[in-house]
Chain A
């Protein structure tokens, strides 16, 4: 709980940095030891190469709205896991878990996606 509070505090501190920068290809920009969970509402979903991006609005622990973005694998891989370009729509309630950006900006590499109470897996089928 205190960890989560710390993360939110860090997030609030970086609020002034504006829109988080996109990491282009690879996961070097994310801290694989720092897991974060964000609850919010989808504002946009880019089902594009090289990596899909989820944009969401989420409240910090002070109730202030923050803009977050989550990065997923490429659309090709998600397609084989059952996703489509319509899997996430503005207004969807979403919980993202993943690795926090090393820069401290409000972005994460997504490892778990729960939309309107249902988990969307990212592993491809046969």
Chain B
């Protein structure tokens, strides 16, 4: 009976955006479908985390010059963006990493479960697991695309700490690089019923001379669902069929 009541409170909380009961304790409720509403680069919403260039080291400057984004003020038709290539027949569709994944122009759903907060991104259906059960970082898997994320609640804010990245992704869609020393801190809070704020701090001493970041604002879309989005579909799948046919 008590379990049933707890489940009812949980369900009601999710529906109304009220605090959620997890492990018998109330935590703020970040659940819902969210879409990026504003970012510091207003002209190109899903582009970068600051209007200009972040404070790059010479190491990062050199890599940045070699990047060719697929859109924005310095876009290239033969882009070498690992996520959004434009050159015909290039594979691409690699995971965008963090924090760039927030700039892919698709919504995400936050799903809160006991001991874990999930970010379910529509873009290629990537899922980020943020462990909130008090465990330390676990990077036994080695460097990964999305890193290892642990979170803790500070009042109404979920503070997420992520390390363990590979150096294959860009931090944004403008082409700013990072090393495997990237450390991302996110402070997530529900500013009101319809607004989610995520304050991002990027630290990477190899690539940036000082920490930098941005505050992103997301809007709730309670009527939206996350739908299938497969980046490799269409052009890449056609290429795959052609290549298979050519082998015969």
Contact = CB atoms under 8 A, between A and B. Distances in A.
A123 B86 CA distance: 24
Interface residues of B, number: 29
Given A24-B90, A28-B75, A76-B106, A126 B223 contact: yes
Interface stretch (A10-18, A37-45, A47-55, A58-66): A47-55
Interface in B214-229: 221, 223-224, 227-229
B231 A24 contact: no
B106 A74 contact: yes
A1 B70 CA distance: 33
Interface stretch (B77-85, B111-119, B197-205): B77-85
Contacts of B77: 23, 28-29, 102
B92 interface: yes
A79 interface: yes
A26 B86 contact: yes
Contact of B86 (A24, A76, A80, A125): A24
B contact patch SS:
loop
B76 interface: yes
Contact of A27 (B75, B235, B236): B75
Interface residues of A, number: 24
A26 B234 contact: no
Contacts of A67: none
B218 to A, nearest CB: 14
A93 interface: no
B70 A25 contact: yes
A21 interface: yes
A24 B106 contact: no
Contacts of A80: 224
A109 to B, nearest CB: 11
Nearest to A47: B234
Contact of B85 (A25, A27, A125): A25
Given A21-B88, A48-B234, A27 B229 contact: no
Contacts of B105: 77
B51 interface: no
A26 B84 contact: yes
Interface of A: 21-29, 46, 48-51, 53, 74-77, 79-80, 102, 125-126
Interface of B: 70-71, 75-77, 79, 81, 84-88, 90, 92, 105-106, 122, 221, 223-224, 227-231, 233-236
6 contacts: A24-B90, A24-B92, A29-B77, A50-B84, A51-B234, A74-B106
